[in-house]
Structures are given as structure tokens and as C-alpha cells.
Chain A
């Protein structure tokens, strides 16, 4: 550095060299300040293209009637219609019901099997076996569940064979039966997700605390309830949030297994938007439903996700 500034002063006459050098230095300092932004910019711009652009597009489209011809501005008409549309409210209700039952079941089951598996000498083996359902293509799983329940009626047949029921089960005409299939498919495929995370958390906990409690005579469920579970709280929160996000956007299973039926009893919000947009080509109306869902998403992200991820990080 000093060598270059020396030679710079040597080449005087035309322009004094040291200010140039300083300017360069200042510029490199400014570049340094911009450098981290520069690194993160491509990813952010790409995500904006794929989220912000569609978000704005959906908002604008939601104030128009868009069918086959040109867009016609209709003001708040789509939203007014939405609030009076019992199919839309039904879709929200279905999403909540199916999602919460499924989530609670998955969480309880995953906690139970993680608790029994993590201290087993063959925990690695169990982990691989229990992971299997998660690694199948969801669309294929949905088809096979559709086949098993609706077409070949395997479950009903098995129940008949052991004499629990006489006739066939009318899956397709019972709302709760259809919801049950969706819940079962989701529990089967995604409990492993929670299991894997819970096992890691249990393995990561401090064994000495547990050991000390045991020496004091605490029973295993007291240890689990009073020590392990509180320690796992942030992990459980993060895992449940991630799972809840995926469940509330449930589409594939609905699309393949139930098509939202019977009597719209299994239509989720995602399926409602899909049906309105791509079956009835009522894009403006579908967009207004998207916007409502987007607003809910943003609120949940700000209130819950931000906190969970920040607390889990520190």
C-alpha cells in the first residue's frame, strides 16, 4: 500500500495522485457497505418476482370481474360476494377442522413414538422405518388411498371380515368419512416429519438433568412431562408451525381423493380457489379469495412465525 502511494506521488504533474487514491479508497468503502446487499439481492429479487408480483396482481385482479373477455372493474363486488358465499366460509371451516384434527393427532403420535424410540438402542433403525411414508410422492399416495378406500374398499372389507360391520361403508356419502380419509392420509404421510424433529430434540437434551431427576425418584412420565416436554417447547413450536402451514394449504389430497365432496364437506381454501379460478374461470373472484388468504398468512407470519424462529435461533 505504502509502496503504491509512493510511486503515485512520483507521477505528479498531470493530477495529484493521492486524492485519486483516497477517492478509490472511499469508493471501495462504499462498495463494502453495499456488498452484503449485493449478495442477498438476487435471491430477494427472484422471490419478489414470484411472490410480490403475484400478490399485487391478485389484489388488482380481485377488484375486477375477469372471465373470458377484458377485465371489468367492479370495485368491492367480489369481496361482498365472498363474505356472503357460504361455500367460502365452509372452505375456511373445513380447512380448520381437517387441519386441526390432523395436526393434533400427528403431534401426539409423533411425541409418543419419539419418546419410546429415542432411548432405544435401535433408534437409527426405527428412524429409517418410520421415515418411509414421508418419502412417497404425495400425489401417488393420494391415488392409492383413493383406490383403497373408495374403489376397492379395503378398509370396509377388512372390517367385514373380522365381523365388525355387516355392509359396506358409504365413504362417498359421509362428510366425516371423507374428512377421515384425508386426515388419515395426512397423518400417515406426515407424522414422520414431526417424529424426526422430536427425536433429534430429545436426543439433544441434557441427560444429566434427567439422571438427577431419576435419582430423586421421579417416574418416567413425570420426567417426560416436567423436564423433556418443557425443554422441547421451542422445537415443538417451530415444527408445528411448519406443519400447520402445509396443512392449511392442503390441496393434493383433496384434488385427488375427494374433489371437495361430498356436499363441499372437504373443500379446503386452496381447493376453493382452484375450483373458482380454473374450473369456473372466475379469476377475479378467485383472486379476492386469494387476497383474503394472503392477508391471513401475513398476519400469522408476523405474529407467530417471526417469534418462533427468532426464539429458536437464540
Chain B
């Protein structure tokens, strides 16, 4: 230890970079392996000995677009996800405003009820929701997915936006109120612009959760009619050959890239968003 170079804080720099480097390897090595699966021919996927240096091939790319209606699945995903985020914002912004700006009886209980829906396991509500959608004829539609994604994310979105609203100084509003602005106008012209970073963070996180959602999508979208990317993956099978892993890996990458770019853009807000505002990031 004594011979190692130490920084001012007394711990070894070598150790620090060994640990961080090892973790980076642990994070990225599987990703490179996924990528290599996505870019190899099908014959090199399940072999008696795994092939680490595959021959490059765009088989999977052609398969995705030509053998399956991938464009349709992509459209379904995008429609369900963006639709759900819009529903969430329409419901969550007024709710967050109410929870952060007014004191009234039962407010904390209402807030906790909204928060507590985040705790519910999808499996608990899956069966009733399945029958509900079947009875109203929404099974196998993008609309059902949109509604369910909105419900899953609503508590999250409300709490994130609420935490940003709590940070707005009261004076800002009071000034507008003395100028005679109504509550709704204050919300629209002062609060919403001020919490825009929170609204964007909440929307991004809601989108990621919506892309990732699997159990409900599996039950509600039981035919290709309403498949989204995450469930379509599970159905990339080539008859007797089993799952077509190179297509799965490639789709995973196609979905990863935009998510990654958006998240890098908002990374400053990410920790706060992930904890629903319980941590000021």
C-alpha cells in the first residue's frame, strides 16, 4: 500500500481505477456480446461451441423488416407510449399542482394513495384488467396499451412533477396573484414553464417504463395486431429453429439508442426523477 501513489484523500488511485474499470467491463462486456449477436448470421448463434468472433452479417436487419411487420410494431409502440405520456401529463400536472400548492383536508392521504399505486404488483391487477378490457372490447388494441401504460406511470409522473413544484418560491405566485391572475392562469403561465425540466424528466422516465413494460403487454396484446417491440421480441421464432436471437438482439439495440441519447440529455435530473423527487439530484 505504501508504495502506491495516493491522492490527497488518502486512498489509492490505482485501486479506484481498477474498481471503476472492472465495473465498466461488467456493464459493457455483455452489451458488446449482444451487439455481436445482432450482427452475426443465424447459423452462428447456437453452435456447440460459442463463437466469439462471428462473421459479420446483416441477416437480422433484413429479417426484422422483411419477415415481420416490424414497422407496424414500431408504430404500435410509439403510439402507445406517446399517447400514454400525454394522458399522464394531462392528469398529473393539475394533480401535482393541487398537491403542492393547496392545503386541504385529506391532501396527504390523496397524495399517498397516488404514490401507493406504484407499489401494486402488475400480477395482482392483471386478471381483472384483462377481463375489463375484454368486456369493453379493447383487448388487442393499442388504445388498451396506452391506457394501461398511462396508469402504470401516473403515480411516478405526478410525484416527480409535484417535487419540482414544491421548489418554486411562493413569492413568484403571489406577485402574479396581486396582479389579478387566476389560479389556472398562474398554473399555465408561471408554474408549468418553471417546472418544465421536471415535466421532461417525468416524461422520459415514463417512456422508458412504457417501452419496458412486459406483463400487461403480453396479456393485452395477444395477437400481432397490438404487438409492441418488447412483446414482438418474444415471438421472433423461426419454427423448428426456436428463437431468432440475432433479431432480438438487434431490436434491443434499435430501442436502446434513442433511449440512451435522451437519457444522456437529462442525466442531471435522472436521480431525482428515479426517486420520484424524494432525493434532490
Q: Which of B206-237 contact A (CB under 8 A)?
A: 208, 211-212, 214-215, 218-219, 229-231, 233-234
Q: Given B92, B127, B242, B267, which contacts A127 in the complex, CB threshold below 8 Å?
A: B267
Q: In whole Å, how far is A44's beta carbon from the nearest beta carbon of chain B? A: 6
Interface contact B154-A36, CB-CB below 8 Å: no
Docked complex Cα distance between A234 and B279 (Å):
9
The answer to whether A252 and B214 touch (CB under 8 A), given A40-B94, A129-B24, A278-B219, is yes
Residues of A within 8 A of B248 (CB): 140, 143-144
User: A233-251 vs B: 1/0 string, CB under 8 Å?
Assistant: 0110011001001001101
- Count chain B CB atoms within 10 A of each CB in A49, A136, A137, A294 and give the residue with the most: A137
Q: How many residue pairs bridge A and B at CB < 8 Å?
A: 287
Interface contact B104-A137, CB-CB below 8 Å: no
B197 part of interface (Cβ distance < 8 Å)? no
Interface contact B256-A39, CB-CB below 8 Å: no
Docked complex Cα distance between A195 and B97 (Å):
30
Of B31-39, B55-63, B64-72, B171-179, which binds chain A? B31-39
Task: Using C-beta atoms within 8 Å of the partner chain, give the interface range for chain A.
Answer: 35 or more
Q: In whole Å, how far is A138's beta carbon from the nearest beta carbon of chain B? A: 5
A263 part of interface (Cβ distance < 8 Å)? no
Q: In whole Å, how far is A105's beta carbon from the nearest beta carbon of chain B? A: 12
Interface size on B, residues (CB 8 A): 98
Interface contact B126-A273, CB-CB below 8 Å: yes
> 13 interchain pairs (CB within 8 A)?
A37-B98, A47-B117, A50-B147, A51-B117, A109-B23, A120-B20, A131-B263, A137-B252, A140-B252, A144-B30, A151-B245, A204-B280, A293-B123
A-B contacts besides A141-B252, A147-B37, A293-B123, 7 pairs, CB < 8 Å? A39-B94, A133-B27, A135-B259, A136-B255, A140-B233, A151-B245, A251-B215
Chain B contacts to A: CB under 8 angstroms: 9-11, 16, 19-20, 23-24, 26-28, 30-31, 33-34, 37, 45-47, 49-50, 90-92, 94-95, 97-99, 101-102, 104, 107, 110, 112-129, 131-132, 147-148, 150-151, 154-155, 158, 183, 208, 211-212, 214-215, 218-219, 229-231, 233-234, 242-243, 245, 248-249, 251-252, 255-256, 259-260, 263-264, 267, 270-272, 274-276, 278-281
